[in-house]
């Protein structure tokens, strides 16, 4: 709990919080959309919105010892996630009309945001930099992984395109630039931009990772 | 650990513990029955009994920072769960003959019990009341959700009837009545009764939540 | 964290660590092989290697309150797991040619190792001996269980042969011999040997646990 008094957290600006809430909202929208397409009921839509947006961060917090996790201590995160899910439940016809490139671009931005925030929090909790890059990746793709499990599907990050790899490389960029002495904000921006650009280009170019049989 | 010395816990009566054990036993019976019907072996039946009865509370405890979780600190909870599962393994022919309305009624009572106990423990750990209602719901339906995942099925709470909603509304009733100054015992009874009645009536009337396509 | 200064941990020899790393490597090889056969991509192979090797221990550590879990505090464990997974990704044609009896024997040794290490750590954290045997079992089979869930399959430990039971009985042997006053090393060797022999014999003789319909 005393970690909240950490100078880095005190310096966390209104801008930072707004960006976090926007990312939570968008990931909740994506999770709730998957729930609607799987014909889950209202409760299921809420659960998948919450899960997709917040479970990655919850797992990270449990692993690094930041207990209770932020989404359990700060009621605003669940409220934002449920709001995003509720919008999808009642307005999914309109949400579905958002052009795919717009959603991919917004999603890439959130991916970078979550990866950077996760890696940074792990570093603030004295986690080894190598492990911190894994924590960034879990923050970014953990929610979507559990969402897929709840739909009884093999998580898409395990077999298709380079989604998780972008989050990993964004986390690596942040950790390396911090290790090289760069300050907190430019490191975070660099990590986020690396993840965002890689994701947008890879989605546009349909990049995918090799499987063992293709090597 | 010192939370155990909390006055609310000291006041926890033999009656309270008996009720907790009865709920654990019944949920274990239900989980083990699902395992038997899925033709799992003896180990699988034990795991599904344990999971259904205790994993909801374990997740709640991890999230609110009550570590080690109660079912890990107090060996009696696993013993009760394994006993329930063992009864099903050896006597499932008789368990299956229990009339469905009896099982639904007993299950509704346990659902209310778990929801109320979960929300109350979250409040005792200084969790925000809104989040405490989510913790009550997770306590009540988390075990069944993980049981369904272990059977590689989409959790039934996500797509059918109003099961989880009853647990949520029971938790809300408890939290609201506590916020309005009601004492611990009447609040708990009120929350449990709300959950129980909603569940029995909804099962009897085949209520279900809307999906997005029905709105 | 101060638990690291526990005399038992100080006495942990280079031999002990080498054995732990060897077990982690082998379980990662097994998990990655399952991923390759399921045609997951490079990221999926890495995740399944990590999961199979380390998630059992992570869950144990979260449950007994050893936070952050060892695999998050000590970067060498993830590195060993990723190395094992990488070997499989690039050399799976050769890994697949390892004769099945060799793999079963190595796997049985790792099973005993993980079960014993898990039960022992739980005892060191003052967990009740009965629960400690469950923690040993979770350490040994938890990773494989989550691997199966990630592949959207019913975990094989729940329905086939006596795999998990060997881990449980090895843990019981360790806990009972500790309770009878045997020292740490002979208890661990005894528990590991019990698990190993049971597993090898049961695989060779195709033992399986009864299901409820066969009793």
- What is the average pLDDT value for chain A, to the nearest integer? 91
The pLDDT-based confidence of A215 (bands split at 50, 70, 90) is low
Q: What is the mean pLDDT of residues A153-172?
A: 92
d(CA C199, CA C193): 10
Tokens of C211: 């299901």
d(CA B122, CA A92): 34
Place of tokens 């190395």: C83
CA distances from B108 to A172, B30, B71, B162 (A): 49, 12, 22, 12
Per-residue pLDDT of chain B (215 residues; tens, 9 = 90+): 344 444 445 456 788 888 899 999 999 999 999 999 999 999 999 999 999 999 999 999 999 999 999 999 999 999 999 999 999 999 999 988 999 999 999 999 999 999 999 999 999 999 999 999 999 999 999 999 999 999 999 999 998 778 999 999 999 999 999 999 999 999 999 999 999 999 999 999 888 888 887 65
Q: Measured between CB atoms, does A57 come within 8 Å of chain B?
A: no
Within-domain flag for B158 = yes
Nearest Cβ partner of C39 from A135, A152, A159?
Answer: A159
Closest to A140 (Cα-Cα) out of A173, A166, A159: A166
Percent of chain A scored above 70 by pLDDT? 93
Taking CB atoms and an 8 Å cut-off, how many pairs form between chains B and C? 82
Q: Measured between CB atoms, does B81 come within 8 Å of chain C?
A: no
Is B68 in Cβ contact with C64 (below 8 Å)? yes
Displacement of CA A82 from its chain's centroid (Å): 16
Nearest-by-CA chain A residue for B122: A72
Q: What share of chain B is helix, strand, coil (3-state, %, to 5)?
A: 80, 0, 20
The pLDDT, as a whole number, for residue A31 is: 96
- B87 burial via Cβ count (<10 Å: 0-12, 13-18, 19+): middle
Taking CB atoms and an 8 Å cut-off, how many pairs form between chains A and B? 81
The C-alpha torsion from C114 through C120 and C126 to C129, rounded to 10°, is: 90
Query: Taking chain B, what is the end-to-end CA distance rounded to the nearest angstrom?
Result: 48
Q: Measured between CB atoms, does C11 come within 8 Å of chain A?
A: no
Nearest Cβ partner of C158 from B43, B72, B79?
Answer: B43
Within-domain flag for B117 = yes
Nearest-by-CA chain A residue for B167: A43
Is A41 in Cβ contact with B211 (below 8 Å)? yes
The pLDDT, as a whole number, for residue B7 is: 43
Within-domain flag for A84 = yes
The pLDDT-based confidence of C161 (bands split at 50, 70, 90) is confident
Q: How confident is the model over A40-53, as pLDDT tens digits? A: 999 999 999 999 99
- A205 burial via Cβ count (<10 Å: 0-12, 13-18, 19+): exposed
CA distances from B89 to B26, B41, B115, C159 (A): 14, 9, 27, 14
Nearest Cβ partner of A69 from B63, B152, B212?
Answer: B63
Is A209 in Cβ contact with C41 (below 8 Å)? yes
pTM: 0.92
Within-domain flag for C126 = yes
Interface of A with C in 112-171 (CB under 8 A): 125, 127-128, 130-131, 134-135, 145, 149, 152-155, 157-160, 162, 164-165
Q: What share of chain A is helix, strand, coil (3-state, %, to 5)?
A: 80, 0, 20
Nearest-by-CA chain A residue for C71: A131
The pLDDT-based confidence of A4 (bands split at 50, 70, 90) is very low
Is C41 in Cβ contact with A208 (below 8 Å)? yes
The Cβ-side half-sphere exposure at B22, using a 13 Å CA radius, reads 14
* Sign of the dihedral through C-alpha B169, B31, A34, C143: positive
Nearest-by-CA chain C residue for A153: C152
Structurally, how many domains does chain C consist of?
1
* Optimal mutation site among B212, B214, B215, interface A, most CBs of chain A within 10 A: B212
Q: How confident is the model over A109-129, as pLDDT tens digits? A: 999 999 999 999 999 999 999
The pLDDT-based confidence of C1 (bands split at 50, 70, 90) is very low
Q: How confident is the model over C9-46, as pLDDT tens digits? A: 544 678 888 889 999 999 999 999 999 999 999 999 99
Tokens of A81: 């996630």
Q: Measured between CB atoms, does B54 come within 8 Å of chain C?
A: no
Interface of A with B in 165-204 (CB under 8 A): none
Interface of B with C in 12-41 (CB under 8 A): 35-36, 38-41
Displacement of CA B31 from its chain's centroid (Å): 12
Within-domain flag for C215 = no
The pLDDT, as a whole number, for residue B207 is: 87
Q: Is the pLDDT of residue A139 over 70?
A: yes
In B, which residues are within 8 Å of C127 by CB distance?
Answer: 68, 72-73
Phi, psi for B211 (deg, rounded to 5): -100, 170
The pLDDT, as a whole number, for residue B8 is: 46
Query: Is residue C195 helix, strand or coil?
Result: helix
Nearest Cβ partner of B65 from A68, A78, A92?
Answer: A68
The pLDDT, as a whole number, for residue C210 is: 85
**Which chains, if any, share at least 3 CB pairs under 8 A with chain B?**
A, C
| 8 Å CB contact between C207 and C162 | yes
d(CA A100, CA B147): 35
The pLDDT, as a whole number, for residue C213 is: 75
Angle at A101 between CA A163 and CA A87, to 5 degrees: 90
The pLDDT, as a whole number, for residue B212 is: 82
Q: What is the mean pLDDT of residues A57-66?
A: 97
* Optimal mutation site among C4, C41, C48, interface A, most CBs of chain A within 10 A: C41
Q: Is the pLDDT of residue C2 over 80?
A: no
Is B40 in Cβ contact with C127 (below 8 Å)? no
- Provide the residue range defining the domain that includes C36: 2-210
The C-alpha torsion from B70 through B72 and B75 to B80, rounded to 10°, is: 70
- C22 burial via Cβ count (<10 Å: 0-12, 13-18, 19+): middle
* Optimal mutation site among A50, A67, A72, interface B, most CBs of chain B within 10 A: A72
Query: Taking chain C, what is the end-to-end CA distance rounded to the nearest angstrom?
Result: 48
Our CA-based measurement puts residue A96 at a distance from the nearest CA of chain C, in whole angstroms, of 27
Within-domain flag for B100 = yes
In B, which residues are within 8 Å of A54 by CB distance?
Answer: none
Q: How confident is the model over C64-117, as pLDDT tens digits? A: 999 999 999 999 999 999 999 999 999 999 988 999 999 999 999 999 999 999
Partners of C47 in the β-ladder? none
Displacement of CA A30 from its chain's centroid (Å): 11
Partners of B41 in the β-ladder? C211
Closest to A159 (Cα-Cα) out of A209, A213, A107: A209
d(CA B133, CA B86): 32
Query: Is residue C74 helix, strand or coil?
Result: coil
Task: Report how many helices (DSSP H) and strands (DSSP E) chain C contains, helices first.
Answer: 9, 0
The pLDDT, as a whole number, for residue C14 is: 83
């Amino acid at each position: 709990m005393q970690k909240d008094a950490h100078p880095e957290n005190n310096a966390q600006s209104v801008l930072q919080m707004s960006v976090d809430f926007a990312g939570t909202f968008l990931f909740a929208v994506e999770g709730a959309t998957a729930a609607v397409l799987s014909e889950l009921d209202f409760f299921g839509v809420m659960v998948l919105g919450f899960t997709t947006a917040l479970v990655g961060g919850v797992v990270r917090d449990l692993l690094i010892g930041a207990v209770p996790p932020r989404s359990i201590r700060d009621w605003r995160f669940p409220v934002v996630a449920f709001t995003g899910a509720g919008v999808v439940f009642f307005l999914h016809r309109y949400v579905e009309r958002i052009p795919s490139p717009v959603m991919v671009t917004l999603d890439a931005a959130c991916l970078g945001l979550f990866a950077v925030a996760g890696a940074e929090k792990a570093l603030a909790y004295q986690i080894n930099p190598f492990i911190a890059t894994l924590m960034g990746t879990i923050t970014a793709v953990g929610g979507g992984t559990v969402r897929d499990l709840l739909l009884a599907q093999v998580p898409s990050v395990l077999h298709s395109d380079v989604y998780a790899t972008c989050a990993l490389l964004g986390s690596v960029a942040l950790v390396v630039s911090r290790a090289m002495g760069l300050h907190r904000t430019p490191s975070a921006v660099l990590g986020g931009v690396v993840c965002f650009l890689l994701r947008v280009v890879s989605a546009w170019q349909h990049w995918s990772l090799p499987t063992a049989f293709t090597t």
